Amino acid sequence: MKLSDTLTGEKREFKPAGDVVKIYVCGVTPYSASHVGHAMSYIVFDVLHRYLEYRGYKVRRVQNFTDIDDKLIDRALLQGMTVEELAGRFIDEYFEDMDALNVRKADEYPRATQEVPKIIEMIAGLVEKDFAYPSNGDVYFRVTKDPGYGKLSHRSIDSMRAGARVEPGVEKDHPMDFALWKGAKTGEPAWESPWGPGRPGWHIECSAMSLRYLGESIDIHGGGQDLVFPHHENEIAQSEAFTGVAPLARFWLHNGLLLKGDEKMSKSLGNLVSIREALQSFSSDAIRLSVLKSHYRGPGYYSDQALAENERALHRFRQALQAPVAAAGVSSKLDATIYRERFISAMDDDLNTPQALATLFDLARDINRDAEAGFDTDDAQALLRELGTEIFGLTFEGRQVEVGSDKAVEIQSLVDLRIALRSAKQFAEADSVRDDLAAMGVTLTDASGSTTWHLD
């Protein structure tokens, strides 16, 4: 099994350092609803976790919540809530969203506010080693003390300095020095420390959590590409400086960003789609399929049209899994071993989910072909369900729409329109409506003079 490592820029053979694969994944800042960009990242690392276990490894995965942050403080103030209340609300929603997407839970979900003693311990150790220094109630990491600073993002300190800006009133030895501890401001949550009341900086929390729950060196550190610099770069610097142990992580895995059209999906552009909004129109399987169709290191693409196509594609899987047992009991000549080997070969090549997914579609096609010919396809069906559910986290279930809901009313109105067009012998127009329904993931069944529908 080979994985691409951002630090070395190479695709290398993966073997854990010990008996358990230790994985740390950076989590959300819970100040608003989780969006489909978050879904992309956590589906990727869910599939990684599932596949490692499928290959026989024991896995321990830790994922944090950044529950103290400028955005959280500002949003809580606007909504008249405490930071703790706001974070708690969106953490609860996050878990509900992940359950809806069939993302399995990590082993630990530490929160920054609950790890302050460990964070203070690390900062104090860095100050003692002269890797950090206090300044007016803040504490900063001294980047010039670390000769390897910039190795993850492949930048030099001089090139970083060219674009660095220092906020007015902030006193640093070097523009690239970053905050480990932020002195308290009026009205903000604060904890006591050797440098006065304040709160943790963003980067130090992940180092403290990774150290506490996984140890000084881990196998895989994951997150989105937008975290390479400065977050992960700073994690390496402060962790390795504190422990004296390198590497912090033997592999750095970064998933690509999610695009909507030609633009990155982001709050600043106003083009975010929340996970809950997406699930109102599309199944969790369709959303997972969107992630699996792209290699995790490349960009992902979100569009209603693509998700509707995924709903139709998923119908092919369900047809294959529901193929009837052959009356004659003649076994299919499909060799499940060949498909399994193709699937594993793709996944072993840096989690090549597009190629692995193509193998499942080939398997579904061949199952449907042999079933129509009257062969028994039980073994092949079992393999399709095994790989699809255990590794890709698909449920192979259709979407449920409540009778009387806006979605159900919309679908039924289009079905009634098609019936009327067919009665008027306007078949081309009726077929066009059927195509529209298919794009929404609706399958029609015409039988005994009536039409029924269901969502794939």
pLDDT computed for residue 169 by the predictor: 64
Structure confidence by residue, pLDDT tens digits, 139-157: 999 999 999 999 999 999 9
In the three-class reduction of DSSP (H, G, I as helix; E, B as strand; rest coil), residue 382 is classed as helix
C-alpha pair distances (Å), 421 with each of 298, 418, 425 = 45, 5, 6
- Break the chain into its structural domains and give their ranges: 2-255, 263-391, 406-455
User: pLDDT grade, residue 164 (50/70/90)?
Assistant: low
Q: Give the residue among 36, 45, 438 at the shortest CA–CA distance from 260.
A: 36
Per-residue pLDDT tens digits for 121-139: 999 999 999 999 999 999 9
In this structure, which CATH number among 3.30.950.10, 1.10.275.10, 3.30.390.30, 1.20.120.640 belongs to the domain 263-391? 1.20.120.640
Model confidence pLDDT, tens digit, residues 184-218: 999 999 999 999 999 999 999 999 999 999 999 99
Segment 230-234 shows an average pLDDT of: 97
Fold type of domain 2-255: Rossmann fold (3.40.50)
pLDDT in tens, 288-329: 999 999 999 999 999 988 898 898 889 889 889 987 765 556
Q: Do the Cβ atoms of 53 and 290 come closer than 8 Å?
A: no
Instruction: Let me know: does 16 contact 1? Beta carbons within 8 Å.
Output: no
The confidence band for 430, taking pLDDT boundaries of 50, 70 and 90, is: confident
- Domains 2-255 and 263-391 alike in fold: no
Nearest CA to 272 among 40, 35, 441, 71? 35
- 436 vs 52 pLDDT, higher one: 52
* Mean of per-residue pLDDT scores for the chain: 91
Question: Average pLDDT of 25-32?
Answer: 97
456 in Cβ contact with 318 (< 8 Å): yes
